[in-house]
Amino acid sequence: MHTKLTTAYFTMEIGIDARMPTYAGGLGILAADIMRSCADLRVNAACVTIGWRHGYLAQHIRADGTQEYEQFAWKKEEFLKKLPQTVTVEVEGRTVTIGCWLYTVQSGDHSVPVYFLDTDLEGNDPADRGITGQLYGGDGAMRLRQEIVLGIGGVRMLRALGYRDIGTFHMNEGHAAFLTLELLRERDYKDDAVRASCAFTTHTPVKAGHDVFPYDLAHRIVGDMLPWHIRKIAGNDALSMTELALNMSRYTCGVSQIHGEVSRKMFPGHAVDSITNGVHHIYWACPEMQELFDRRASGWREDPAVLEMVSRSFDDEELWNAHMAAKQRLIDEVNRQTGKQFSAQCLTIASARRVVPYKRPELLYTNLERLKEVCSGSVQIIHAGNAHPSDPYSQEVIQRMVQRGKELEGSVQIAYLENYNPDLARILVAGTDVWLNTPMRLHEASGTSGMKACLNGVLNLSSLDGWWAEAYGRDPEAGWRIGPLVKAIDDPEEHRKVDAEDLYTQMQYEVVHEYYYSERRRWIRRMKRAIGLMGYFSSQRCVQEYCRKAWNV
Ligand SMILES: *Cc1c(COP(=O)(O)O)cnc(C)c1O
């Protein structure tokens, strides 16, 4: 075993296997792709996270669109190896013991360990056994307990595992910022000594998304681990995990160029760079595309940038056939799940994501008459996405979307698939013709699902935000934009109207027109260019950038 690490990557969630509910959404999926690429690139990395009993929930959608969310039980021992090491942390004056489970990300002969921390141990107070129970569950006090386990417990666990020399402690979002408190203790409370070995990625372009705790609560739960100068490093009025991470890191980045700009405005006085997210090129390519790439883009597994160089020389028919095989798999899944009769000959538009207001899931339904005019008989639409059980707003959105599907039944086929998870995502991003994403501008930090679509030759139709603003700038032929090129409109309602109108226009005069009334090779040419974007939007390029800018390798 190595005792030296280039980076210890701390993350509250990781979606490394759809059967392990240790994630909630994009943040966890990204962490998994970054670890996969670290393994490919032989980076000496380790991931520290929490072995949640319950994270992502299984979703069932009833015929009327209402939903059930169910925790699904999983047995850690079926996926993970229990390690003998334990460490302790103080929580509200009680001593809590933390155990550790190992998952190994293997690539060739290089591996990256993922350490899952766990407080569900015999000796712990029953209340403390639940600290690693529910990802993002509970109140502020519970969140503080969880963040103590991740940050302070995580550093102690790495030490117990024998890691002495760790180049960079990486905080994937502010949740992990308490790791700096343990490093301060290790290093005689010298801020500079801690800052020299920490880096931070912020993911949240809206203020409300950042963890902030009142100091009386923080003192009660965290106790003596809060240093005397905590108000200086974590905010004067309340303890902000983001402030703490920003102040204790030598390097901070956002996750796309636009998000970097937004973050610099949000955190004046801090240097915030950007490293645009990426997706793992092998994990997210469907089997047919993998075979095609193996034949026509040799070396792409080691270096996805090969795809940028050769995708334009792919054979049209081969590429189309690979796409149609993936499409048939998706259509079969839709028909099996919904009993509908979707057809592989019909232009298919899919849109799947966590249901939150800024992603504007209902933008497509702004004007039903226009939608019918554009789509009747020529477009079929697939949705998927989970809401949170304690979020009635998002549950109602899903219910309304299911009902829209019924109202439009005679003219436009619409399906809402249940239980969006990485396994379903893999079928969707490869099998649809067009990937639709409609975030409110400046609100989508990066987005990654559209990158997965590109890799499979699926064309994006998206607002110019996050990663798509960059991709569209690189190659406007690789898909379509929604909304004007000029900067965002300030009034959200006005912004929504303009974008909705543009969405129908783009669909009618570009997407539908090109699919049915142009020569197929025009569409296929766009597919090749979409695949070419994978030269840049892979997690491999992303990790290479992290190595250079954040991890000093
Ligand atoms: C890729 C992925 C996400 C993140 O996608 P966004 O584009 O950020 O919405 C979320 N959930 C699952 C299951 C995914 O595969």
Dump pLDDT digits (tens) for 127-174: 999 999 999 989 999 999 999 999 999 999 999 999 999 999 999 999
| pLDDT tens digits for range 311-365 | 999 999 999 999 999 999 999 999 999 999 999 999 999 999 888 888 898 999 9
**What pLDDT, on a 0 to 100 scale, did the predictor assign at position 488?**
62
- What's the pTM? 0.97
The residues near 15 (Cβ < 8 Å, ≥ 6 apart) are 22, 23, 25, 28, 29, 31, 32, 56, 422
Q: With a 6 A CB cut-off, is 421 part of the ligand 1 pocket?
A: yes
Report which of 156, 162, 160 is spatially closest to residue 10, judged by C-alpha positions: 156
Q: How far is CA 370 from CA 23, 27, 408, 409, 544, in A?
A: 38, 35, 12, 15, 45
Closest atom, ligand 1, to C-alpha of 353:
9
Ligand 1 site-directed mutation target among 34, 255, 354, 386, most atoms within 8 Å of CB:
354
| pLDDT tens digits for range 206-233 | 888 899 999 999 999 999 999 999 999 9
The per-type count for the chain, helices as H runs and strands as E runs, is: 23, 19
What's the rounded Cα separation, in Å, for the pair 107 and 301?
A: 11
Percent of the chain clearing pLDDT 70 (strictly above): 99
The residue that leads in pLDDT, 74 or 356, is 74
The residues near 352 (Cβ < 8 Å, ≥ 6 apart) are 382, 383, 384, 385, 417, 420, 424, 425, 428, 449
| pLDDT tens digits for range 240-250 | 999 999 999 99
d(CA 225, ligand 1 centre) in Å: 35
**What pLDDT, on a 0 to 100 scale, did the predictor assign at position 246?**
97
Q: With a 6 A CB cut-off, is 449 part of the ligand 1 pocket?
A: yes
**What pLDDT, on a 0 to 100 scale, did the predictor assign at position 255?**
98
- Structure-token pair, residue 250: 């030598």
| pLDDT tens digits for range 7-53 | 999 999 999 999 999 999 999 999 999 999 999 999 999 999 999 99
All domains of the chain, ordered by start, with CATH? 4-57+68-278+541-550 (3.40.50.2000), 281-537 (3.40.50.2000)
The b/e string for 9-44 (b: 16+ C-beta within 10 A; e otherwise) is: bbbbbbbbeeebbbbbbbbbbbbbbbbbbbbbbebb
Closest atom, ligand 1, to C-alpha of 450:
7
Contact 222, 145 (CB under 8 A): no
d(CA 26, ligand 1 centre) in Å: 4
Q: At what angle do helices 257-266 and 466-474 cross, to 10 degrees?
A: 140
Q: With a 6 A CB cut-off, is 447 part of the ligand 1 pocket?
A: yes
Q: Whose CA is nearest to atom 8 of ligand 1?
A: 447
Mean pLDDT of 532-542: 97
Contact 383, 424 (CB under 8 A): no
Model confidence at 178: pLDDT above 80: yes
Q: With a 6 A CB cut-off, is 29 part of the ligand 1 pocket?
A: yes
Q: With a 6 A CB cut-off, is 353 part of the ligand 1 pocket?
A: yes
Ligand 1 site-directed mutation target among 449, 458, 539, most atoms within 8 Å of CB:
449
**What pLDDT, on a 0 to 100 scale, did the predictor assign at position 1?**
60
d(CA 402, ligand 1 centre) in Å: 21
d(CA 420, ligand 1 centre) in Å: 9
Report which of 19, 15, 26, 23 is spatially closest to residue 352, judged by C-alpha positions: 26
Model confidence at 487: pLDDT above 70: no
Q: With a 6 A CB cut-off, is 26 part of the ligand 1 pocket?
A: yes
Model confidence at 390: pLDDT above 90: no
